[in-house]
Amino acid sequence: MGDEQEKKSRQVRKNWIIIIGFLLMAALLVGATFGENAVVAQKVNGSLPEQQLNIWTMQRWSPYVVGILIGMLSWVSFLLSDKPLGVSTAYARTAGMVEEYFKGPSVRERPYYKQYVPKIGWEWMLVAGLVVGAFTSAILSGEFRLEVVPALWNETFGHTPFKRLLVALIGGIFMGLGARWADGCTSGHGISGTLQLVVSSWIALFCFFIGGVIAAFIIY
């Protein structure tokens, strides 16, 4: 009897938390709509072009809306594919594929590639889709442009494409090494792991930002 009651009260509490969660989400969406209203107000003042009012062609969505939609995308991913969203494994497999191309199948004997076999799978297609999705978004909003030197870099270090590529390459090497070392990146640990309340992922996310902030302040 007491057991059942406890079970029941736990169920009630659970349902309440779900309801509160959804209410909070709704609140966030409302907040985002307020942001949009501001955009509309600016339109009335005539300072914004038509393009910024269409949801598909406007340049930016509110970060809260984007975050909520990414969270919902992770539901789809868990439900339909039984996979968390994660990106960096695909790079490791690609590294293996590139090495295999140059050195032959003996590369697969490496213990790491036995664990992460260098072939195209779900995560790899995820990254391929990601590139096309970003391309589509950029084309629709008219943001697509080929550039080597980002604006902020240009302001600080001038138009120095070679220097930018070299620094990006060095950063990429550290990131590729670190992502495998920590067994995940900003997606795999930072979003998918943390949303499952995984201890290692929360620690990893924290370390990503500590390292990132330190490096960024040294550079700028």
Partner 1 sequence: MLEKLHSRKWLQLVLGTLIGFCFGFLLQRGGVTRYDFIMGQLLLYDWTVAKIILSAIATGMIGVYYMRSKGLARLHIKAGSVGATVVGGLIFGIGFGILGYCPGTMAGAVGQGSLDALFGGVVGMLIGAGFYARIYPFLSETILKTGDFGELTIPGLLGRRDPWPVIGYVCLGIIVFFIVLEAAGL
Size of the site for partner 1 (CB under 8 A): 137
Per-residue DSSP letters for 6-72?
Answer: HHHHHHHHHHHHHHHHHHHHHHHHHHHHHHHHHHHHHHHTT-S-GGGGSTTTSS---HHHHHHHHHH
Please say which residue, 2 or 46, places its beta carbon nearer to partner 1: 2
* Residue 184: burial class (beta carbons within 10 Å; 0-12, 13-18, 19+): buried
Does 200 participate in binding partner 1 (rule CB under 8 A)?
Answer: yes
Identify residues 98-127 at the interface with partner 1 (CB under 8 A): 98-99, 110-113, 120-127
Which of 48, 203 has the CB closer to partner 1?
203
* Cβ nearer to partner 1, comparing 43 with 178: 178
Residue 157 binds partner 1 (CB under 8 A): no
Kindly write out the interface string for residues 6-45 of this chain, putting x where it contacts partner 1 by CB under 8 A and - elsewhere.
----x--xx--xx-xxx-xx--x-----------------
Minimum Å distance from CB 18 to partner 1? 6
Using an 8 Å Cβ cutoff, are 85 and 122 in contact?
Answer: no
